[in-house]
Amino acid sequence: MNEDRVLLIDKPAGITSFGVVARVRRHLSQEFGHKAKVGHTGTLDPFATGLMIIVTGKECRNAGSYSKLDKVYEATIHLGQTSSTGDPEGEVTEVSDLIPTAEQVAEMLAKFVGEIKQRPPMYSAIKINGERAYKLARKGEVVEMPERTVTVFSLDLIEYTYPDIRIRVHVSSGTYIRTLAEDIGKDLGTGAYCTELRRTKIAEWDVGGAEPVANYEY
């Protein structure tokens, strides 16, 4: 029985990444007859779906190398409003009824390809002074998130029907699609937040080859 595995899981919406790990751990612990060592290689927001790489046993030592790989996402950006968390789970505020043209949207998306500066969202798993930023945000604390440089290798427009822009984006590790959505909305003058997010690839691994997390129920 091989306890050192790399598992590809298709995470559904409404469950945390830690919830996925917990389900896999419970299932494998029953299979192995003892507590399984299980870790993930990068979180997905609860509202997001798609590919997670789960590592077990000795493969957990390599989690860091998997987390540094580039990723591909498909996302829906909703114009005209902002969200306190950058996603559907936050408090939504009306911003603008401005309707950009398809040409304006395409031109703006092109400006985000290449190396860009991002300030990660407060509601994120980044640690600030040893504590997760989202925990500080829930306490009402305001923390200046450190800016970082990330790379957008490609950003393709799938569909634009106001108020929604659907994109496919290939990015370096550490890129926040919620922040990208907000920045696009800011530059368009409309405000925006991310309503749907699906991770379809991590390096050469594709979500088409992933298992549903339901396979690890018991």
Report, as residue numbers or ranges, the catalytic residues.
45
For 213, what's the count of Cα atoms within 13 Å in the CB-facing half-sphere? Answer: 23
Positive or negative torsion for Cα 116, 122, 124, 127:
positive
**39 φ/ψ angles, rounded to the nearest 5 degrees:** -145, 170
CA 2, chain centre distance (Å): 30
Q: Is 65 helix (H, G, I), strand (E, B) or coil?
A: helix
Rg (CA), the chain: 18
- Any bridge partners for residue 73, and if so which? 169, 199
In the block, tokens 């003058």 appear at 189
